[in-house]
């Protein structure tokens, strides 16, 4: 567990007066492993994908319903991007200071250059709460989608909304 990463997130959320609930659990690396934990509000857990264009000019963190699958060609069209691929673990560490399994929009706290574009699936805005990691995969933070948007906007990263079917 990376207590300093979690603490930094919790301190920032508290300073921003964002209500959240943190649930600690064993380390997980996939949505399937998350579901095996039988956490409360399991339906609120979202999937986070870290992708980039083929020239490594634009990086995107896509937040979507955990049951959905993303077609990168369709996503490219919706984002008006060059061809997309999944970013490497090195890119994840360089851009967001995160390890594999801990991908989360809360990681933009480590993106001082505001390079990563956050892409929210419009469907998650209807959730009561979303469940995401606090920059470490040994805990899940539950918060209102509007609180997540407030966090992203306050930290200054670009934010876009798309429909992912």
Per-residue model confidence as pLDDT tens digits over 114-123: 999 999 999 9
Q: Please tell me what DSSP assigns to residue 38.
A: -
Q: Domain total for the chain? A: 1
144-148 long-range contacts (CB < 8 A, ≥24 apart) are: 144/19, 145/120, 147/18, 147/19, 147/20, 148/63, 148/105, 148/120
- The structure's pTM equals 0.94
pLDDT band (50, 70, 90) for residue 157: very high
Give the model's pLDDT for residue 1. 43
d(CA 47, CA 105): 10
Give the model's pLDDT for residue 119. 98
Reported as a single tens digit per residue, the pLDDT across 89-115 is 999 999 999 999 999 999 999 999 999
Residue 134: give the domain boundaries. 3-162
Residue 100: give its domain's CATH number.
3.90.960.10
């Amino acid at each position: 567990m990376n207590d300093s990463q979690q603490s930094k997130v919790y301190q920032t959320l508290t300073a921003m007066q964002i209500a959240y609930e943190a649930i600690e659990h064993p380390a997980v690396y996939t949505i399937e492993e998350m579901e095996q934990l039988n956490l409360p509000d399991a339906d609120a857990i979202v999937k986070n994908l870290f992708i980039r264009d083929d020239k490594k000019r634009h990086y995107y963190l896509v937040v979507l319903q955990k049951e959905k699958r993303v077609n990168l060609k369709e996503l490219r069209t919706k984002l008006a991007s060059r061809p997309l691929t999944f970013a490497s673990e090195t890119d994840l560490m360089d851009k967001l200071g995160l390890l594999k399994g801990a991908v989360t929009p809360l990681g933009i706290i480590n993106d001082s250059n505001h390079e990563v574009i956050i892409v929210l699936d419009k469907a998650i805005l209807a959730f009561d709460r979303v469940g995401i990691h606090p920059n470490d995969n040994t805990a899940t933070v539950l918060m209102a989608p509007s609180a997540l948007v407030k966090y992203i906007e306050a930290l200054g990263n670009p934010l876009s909304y798309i429909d992912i079917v």
